Amino acid sequence: MKDLDLFKRLSKRLDNLEKLPKLDEQKSIPKVLQEKGISRREFISWATSIAAMLSLPASFTPLVAKATELSDRLPIIWLHMAECTGCSESLLRTDAPSIDSLIFDYISLEYHETLMASAGWQAEANLEHAIEKYKGNYILMVEGGIPSGQTDFYLTIGGHANTGEQNAKVACEHAKAIFAIGSCSSFGGVQAAIPNPTGAVSLSKITNKSVINVPGCPPSEKNIVGTLLHYILYGSLPALDAYNRPKWAYGQRIHDLCERRGHFDAGEFVEKFGDEGSKKGYCLYKVGCKGPYTFNNCSKNKFNQHTSWPIQAGHGCIGCSEPDFWDKMGPFEEPVGDKLYNTVFGGAGADATADKIGVGILATAAVGITAHAIISKVKNPIEDEEH
């Protein structure tokens, strides 16, 4: 019954969206798929996987397909702040475009600095025009950390010499929904790493409005597209964790979804890159994997057209979807040992979730509990204190 009510509610929302004008009458999802040689069957199986990812039953597949079709109804403004553009690249630069990246072509991107042809005064005018035209109705996606306060001039943009902070503030003010795409926009990222010379901050620090964080450096295309489709389907915020990340994507630890987890539990570790353990696909904890402290769904979605992800490729997770990971997770190729975080022992177990407990608390405690009997070389400061 609950599912049926939800189905009706979402259908109604999509019916209303359908009444809004199309971006381009000539464009449609069936047409785009046909042009790219993607069959209807592939599209439906993709929609089923998106439904599952958003924790919806398979019977919602037609709604996901319809939401995709209607993804051109909501204008999107995408701003670049201080960053490497890897987040856009994650979605765009594939040699055989996936359905996720096709959607990026199809949606109504009113303004995107990487994609648009215009530059200089014209680009600036386009941004002002888009904000004015779609006031209160557009989705704002922001990539990058934001130099702010006394050092906001480090990101000075365009002929009017606005700072990135000014542009982002105005764009936030009139947006219907705001997504911080990538760890830089979500948490400050590499710019905000110590000593943070430009005073970079996260998007949520410069606006009072709700910001949905989609971190990762970069985030997977699935998490970006899934966040957008969730919004199209529901028209409201998804369930969020303590760091405002959608729980459907960031609700579980890398460690709990990891294909090498059996080796961790069995005490089988890579001791050195290239050793026998590496060849056998053993656990990467001792060569620095931060999967036990990181919440993301990388092993499910993967990168590069869903072919691989860091741990599958043989390197540990560096914790790229966690706040301040550049400072807190390093050195990246060494285990946490007793040098990371001022750990507070809160009774956190392997099943602790991000909304209950932050990474600082989880840190050494979780690994200590799970592995304390098997990792003899990794020191657990809590145990040492207790004994």
**Contacted entry of ligand SF4, ligand F3S, ligand FSX, none for residue 310, CB cut-off 5 to 8 Å set by kind:** ligand F3S
**Contacted entry of ligand SF4, ligand F3S, ligand FSX, none for residue 85, CB cut-off 5 to 8 Å set by kind:** ligand FSX
What are residue 295's DSSP bridge partners?
Answer: 253
- Asked if residue 255 binds ligand SF4 (CB under 6 A), the reply is yes
- Judged by CB under 6 A, which stretch of 99-107, 150-158, 184-192, 260-268 contacts ligand FSX? 184-192
**Contacted entry of ligand SF4, ligand FSX, ligand F3S, none for residue 230, CB cut-off 5 to 8 Å set by kind:** none
> Which residue in the set 38, 146, 317, 371 belongs to the binding site for ligand F3S (CB under 6 A)?
317
> Which residue in the set 139, 228, 240, 298 belongs to the binding site for ligand F3S (CB under 6 A)?
298
Instruction: List the interface residues with ligand FSX, window 196-225 (CB under 6 A).
Output: 217-218
- Asked if residue 56 binds ligand FSX (CB under 6 A), the reply is no
Token readout for 277 is 């353990």
> Which residue in the set 51, 184, 311, 336 belongs to the binding site for ligand FSX (CB under 6 A)?
184
**Alpha-carbon radius of gyration of the chain:** 22
- The residue at minimum Cβ distance from ligand F3S is 317
Instruction: List the interface residues with ligand SF4, window 274-313 (CB under 6 A).
Output: 283-285, 289, 291-292, 311
Shortest distance, CB of residue 301 to ligand F3S, whole angstroms?
A: 9
- Asked if residue 318 binds ligand F3S (CB under 6 A), the reply is yes
What span, in angstroms and rounded, lies between the C-alpha atoms of 292 and 349? 11
Task: Give Cβ neighbours of residue 5 (< 8 Å, ≥ 6 apart).
Answer: none
Q: Which is nearer to ligand SF4, 149 or 349 (CB)?
A: 349
Q: Which is nearer to ligand F3S, 252 or 296 (CB)?
A: 296
By rule CB under 6 A, what count of residues binds ligand SF4? 15
**Contacted entry of ligand SF4, ligand FSX, ligand F3S, none for residue 264, CB cut-off 5 to 8 Å set by kind:** ligand SF4
Question: Is the separation of the CB atoms in 168 and 203 below 8 Å?
Answer: yes
- Asked if residue 316 binds ligand SF4 (CB under 6 A), the reply is yes
Shortest distance, CB of residue 299 to ligand SF4, whole angstroms?
A: 8
Q: Which residue has the tokens 């979780």?
A: 366
- Asked if residue 131 binds ligand SF4 (CB under 6 A), the reply is no
Instruction: List the interface residues with ligand F3S, window 192-221 (CB under 6 A).
Output: 216
Shortest distance, CB of residue 294 to ligand SF4, whole angstroms?
A: 8
146-147 and 156-157 beta bridge pairing: unpaired
**Contacted entry of ligand F3S, ligand SF4, ligand FSX, none for residue 283, CB cut-off 5 to 8 Å set by kind:** ligand SF4
- Asked if residue 329 binds ligand F3S (CB under 6 A), the reply is no
- Asked if residue 281 binds ligand FSX (CB under 6 A), the reply is no
- Judged by CB under 6 A, which stretch of 58-66, 82-90, 355-363, 378-386 contacts ligand FSX? 82-90
Per-residue burial over 17-53, b = 16 or more CB atoms within 10 Å of its CB, e = otherwise: beeeeebeeeeebeebbeeeebeeeebeebbbbbbbb
Question: Is the separation of the CB atoms in 81 and 145 below 8 Å?
Answer: yes
Give the binding site for ligand SF4 (CB under 6 A).
Answer: 254-255, 258, 260-261, 264, 283-285, 289, 291-292, 311, 316-317
Give the binding site for ligand FSX (CB under 6 A).
Answer: 83-87, 143-144, 182-184, 189-190, 217-218
Give the binding site for ligand F3S (CB under 6 A).
Answer: 216, 254, 294, 296, 298, 309-311, 317-321
